[in-house]
Amino acid sequence: MKIYNKYIAAIALSLVLTGCRAPMATVIKDEVKENLPQNFNQEEQQDANANSGTTPWRQFFTDPNLVSLIETSLKNNQELLITLQEIEIAKSGVLAKKGKLTPTVSAGIGAGLKKAGRYTSEGAGDAATEIEPGREMPDPLGNFEGGLMANWEIDIWKKLRTEKEAAVAHYLSTVEGKNFVLSNLIEEVADNYYELLALDNQLDIIQQYIKLQQRALEISKIQKEAAAATELAVKKFEAELAKSKAAEYTIRQDITEKENQINALLGRYPQPIVRTKESFMSTMPQTVYTGIPSQLLANRPDIKQAELELKAAKLDVQAARKEFYPSLEISATLGLEAFKPSYLVKLPESIAYNLAGELAGPLINKSAIKANFQTADAKQIQSLYEYDKTILHAYLDVANLMSRVKNIDQYYQMKSQETKALDQSIDIANQLFRNSRADYLEVLLNQRDALDAKMELIEAKQKQLSTVVDIYKSLGGGWK
pLDDT at 1: 46
pLDDT at 13: 54
pLDDT at 19: 47
Among 1.10.3720.10, 2.20.200.10, 3.30.43.10, 3.30.1360.40, name the CATH number for the domain at 103-154+327-360.
2.20.200.10
Instruction: Write the pLDDT tens digit of every residue in 75-127.
Output: 999 999 999 999 999 999 999 999 988 999 999 998 888 887 777 877 777 77
Among 160-169, 304-313, 419-428, 453-462, whose mean pLDDT is lowest?
Answer: 419-428
pLDDT at 16: 52
CATH code linked to domain 27-101+155-324+366-475 = 1.20.1600.10
Among 266-270, 320-324, 421-425, whose mean pLDDT is lowest?
Answer: 421-425
Query: Which residues of the chain form CATH 2.20.200.10?
Result: 103-154+327-360
Among 161-165, 298-302, 379-383, 475-479, whose mean pLDDT is lowest?
Answer: 475-479
Query: Which residues of the chain form CATH 1.20.1600.10?
Result: 27-101+155-324+366-475
Instruction: Write the pLDDT tens digit of every residue in 384-394.
Output: 999 999 999 99
CA 405 vs CA 43, 462, 469: distances in Å: 16, 12, 11
Query: Does the pLDDT at position 417 exceed 90?
Result: yes
Range 159-167 average pLDDT: 94
pLDDT at 218: 86
Query: Does the pLDDT at position 6 exceed 70?
Result: no
Query: Does the pLDDT at position 17 exceed 60?
Result: no
281 or 439, which is more confident: 281
Query: Does the pLDDT at position 207 exceed 50?
Result: yes
pLDDT at 20: 52
Range 202-209 average pLDDT: 94
Range 328-339 average pLDDT: 90
Range 266-283 average pLDDT: 95
pTM metric for this prediction = 0.85
Instruction: Write the pLDDT tens digit of every residue in 166-192.
Output: 999 999 999 999 999 999 999 999 999
State the greatest distance between any 2 C-alpha atoms of the chain, in Å, as a whole number.
Answer: 142
Predicted confidence band of residue 343 (pLDDT cuts 50, 70, 90)? confident
Using a pLDDT cut of 90, give the percent of the chain over it.
56
Instruction: Write the pLDDT tens digit of every residue in 18-37.
Output: 545 778 888 878 888 888 89
pLDDT at 410: 94
Predicted confidence band of residue 237 (pLDDT cuts 50, 70, 90)? confident
